[in-house]
Amino acid sequence: MLNFSKINIFLIYLIFFLISIFATLNLQNKSNLFIDKKVNLGLDLQGGSYLLLEINSDSLIEEKIQSKVIPIKKLLKKNNLNYSNFKINDRSLSLKIDDKEKFESLFFSKKDNLVNPYIDDYRSFELEYSSLDNNFIEILFSKYGLLSINNSALKQSIEIVRRRIDDVGTKEPTILQRGEKRILVELPGLKDPERIKKLLGKTAKLNFRLVSDNSEFGVDSLISETGETLEISKRIVMSGDNLIDAQPSIQNQRNEPTVSFTLDRIGAQKFGRATTDNVGKRLAIVLDGKIISAPNINEPITSGSGMISGNFSFQEATDLALLLRSGALPTPLNVVEERTVGPDLGEDSIKSGVMSLIVGFVLVILFMLYKYKIFGIVANIALIANLLMLVGVLTILEATLTLPGIAGIILTVGMAVDANVLIFERIKEELKTEKSIIHAFDTGYSKAKITVLDANITTLIAAIILFAFGSGPVKGFAITLGIGIVTTLFTAYFLARHLTSIIVLRNNNKEIKI
């Protein structure tokens, strides 16, 4: 156990120095030309914003139930089922039908059902119906159908929220699902929380619709950004789904901020056809039910690109482009909880955590020096190396350090010393019976290895479980604890053992006390 080959010694110190170099990167003020990695501070350490968002799926349920109207009518017509009083409600459909039994057999058919899909894994249909008086029935989403809508909307919302926040350039955001309808957003170091709230609060459903002068057709009355009331057609020429890209730009002639957009192939065809057929008319650009611009169509636009203007500031144009690039949210998002952690509070947390680490570190060093003399120095060197390697690995991973993470580092200090205490106490027992000092140390390391491994591996398993099932601060604690266990084993059984072997081999003929 005390014999090391030259290649082993080289590899031990090479690994130590390489990982330790990464730890020093956290001391630099400017980015390194070759390596730009640092341990990021969490929300509780550097301040920032905490937002708890909730999806409102009511509008989505209304859209989904309306999408069932045509398939249901086709089903009834195809099977010669007479119906009347077909009504579309907010979350359901109602109608009067002559043959309920025949309708039920078709509606709940498990084979090739395009109207009401059957999911075998859940043994449930997407829709259900209830019987009312006078042969009336009400069709609505089943519990599984509602759950599917919520789950799909939540996953899509999380992805779009992530895109919007990433586009703003926020460093190390945390975006997690909370329950069936909520999204947790943590933004460390955020300086402008109101802008983020505005970006996340907009659904950003974009469509292009013609301004209509003919009141005989279906029109909506909407107010534009300039205060003008316009009658616009309900028919959507093109939606935001056809956008590939959107970027803020400056119109050279009037130095006015605008948003330039690019369309996909289908969108370019729709836009080209609509502008060709309606030269001279006005095209309303509607965002979340409000007209942001209504320019005249002076000539056909067939290039697949265009421009949105609307008396924007450059910041507003930038945010609008960001919203269009990221896509529309499937449902509105409401802020149900908001907290802001100031940098002063985060600074106090860092000072408290660092002070705890220093006090614990100094006490451990003094205890090891008092208890084990020269071998206490070895244990203390291993402890310092352990902390350097721990910070180095966190830097390589660009991990986010939170207050519980600092607690994990402090716990690592105690565990690192614990490994050496177990080894040295075992060596003491061997020195009582062994005449050969080298053999006593060798046996001590060998017999203590199983105990040290058992103790650390069980803790490592606990850390893995915490990481797998925990969230937020719990994960931060689990990461630092898990990495600390690995670096503890490395420094105890490679670095400290090599330093111990140097002392023992040089003092082979002398009495060594621990």
Distance in angstroms (rounded) separating the CA atoms of residues 59 and 332:
8
Are 269 and 232 within 8 A, CB to CB? no
Candidates 486, 494, 490; CA nearest to 464 is 486
Domain boundaries, the chain: 6-46+342-506, 59-147, 206-336
Degrees to nearest 5, angle at CA 489 with 486 and 493? 150
Which 3-state string (H, E, C) describes 298-332?
CCCCCCCEEEECCCCCHHHHHHHHHHHHHCCCCCC
Give the helix/strand (H/E) hosting 287: strand 283-287
Count of CB atoms situated within 10 Å of the CB of 234: 10
Helix axes 314-326, 193-201, angle to 10 degrees: 50
pLDDT, greater one: 453 or 254: 453
- 419-434 pLDDT tens trace: 888 888 888 888 888 7
Burial of residue 113 (number of CB atoms within 10 Å: 0-12, 13-18, 19+)? middle
The whole-number pLDDT of residue 215 equals 53
**Mean pLDDT within 20-37:** 73
* Rounded mean pLDDT, 213-231: 67
pLDDT greater than 70 at residue 219:
no
3-state helix, strand, coil in the chain (%, to 5): 50, 20, 25
Q: Would you say residue 362 has pLDDT above 80? A: yes
- Return the pLDDT at 234: 79
pLDDT of residue 2: 67
Comparing CA positions, the residue from 417, 400, 412, 384 lying closest to residue 483 is: 412
Say if residues 199 and 320 touch (Cβ distance below 8 Å). Answer: no
pLDDT digits (tens, 9 = 90+) for 472-512: 678 888 989 999 999 999 998 889 888 988 888 887 777 77
Query: What is the distance between the alpha carbons of residues 38 and 24, in angstroms, rounded to a whole number?
Result: 9
**pLDDT mean over 244-255:** 80
What are 72-77's contacts with CB under 8 Å, separation 24+? 72/115, 72/139, 75/106, 75/107, 75/115, 76/103
pLDDT for 328 equals 83
pTM for the model:
0.67
Token pair 């901020």 in the structure block, residue: 257
**Residue, of 297 and 41, whose pLDDT is higher:** 297
The mean per-residue pLDDT over the stretch 163-177 comes to 80
Position 14 confidence tier, pLDDT thresholds 50, 70, 90: very high
Q: Burial, 357: exposed, middle or buried (Cβ in 10 Å; 0-12, 13-18, 19+)?
A: middle
Quote the CA–CA distance of 186 and 338 in Å, as a whole number: 10
Which pLDDT value is given to residue 346?
Answer: 63
For the record, the structure tokens of 320 come out as 């609008």
Task: Say what the pLDDT of residue 407 is.
Answer: 85
pLDDT of residue 484: 92
What value does the mean pLDDT take over residues 156-184? 84
pLDDT tens track for 55-82: 988 888 888 888 888 888 888 888 888 8
**pLDDT tens column, 80-134:** 888 889 988 888 999 998 888 888 888 888 877 778 888 766 678 888 888 888 8
Range among 30-44, 209-223, 247-261 rated most confident: 247-261
Tell me if residue 77 falls in helix, strand or coil.
Answer: helix
pLDDT for residue 344 is more than 70: no
Report d(CA 262, CA 249) in Å as an integer. 13
With bands split at pLDDT 50, 70 and 90, how would you rate the model's confidence at 3? Answer: confident
Predicted pLDDT at 154: 92
**Beta carbons within 8 Å of 376's beta carbon, 6+ residues apart:** 368, 369, 370
What dihedral angle (degrees, nearest 10) is formed by the CA atoms of 238, 244, 250, 252?
Answer: -80
* CA distances in angstroms from 58 to 52, 155, 329, listed in the order given: 19, 16, 13
In tens, the pLDDT along 447-472 reads: 888 888 888 899 999 999 988 887 66
pLDDT attached to residue 464:
92
183 pLDDT band, cuts 50/70/90, is very high
Long-range contacts of 165-172 (CB under 8 A, 24+ apart): 165/196, 165/200, 167/322, 167/325, 167/326, 168/195, 168/196, 168/199, 168/322, 170/196, 171/40, 172/40, 172/398, 172/400
Say if domain 6-46+342-506 classifies as CATH 1.20.1640.10.
yes
Domain spanning 206-336: CATH 2.60.130.10: no
Q: What percent of the chain shows pLDDT beyond 70?
A: 92
pLDDT for residue 389: 93
Q: What is the pLDDT of residue 350?
A: 73
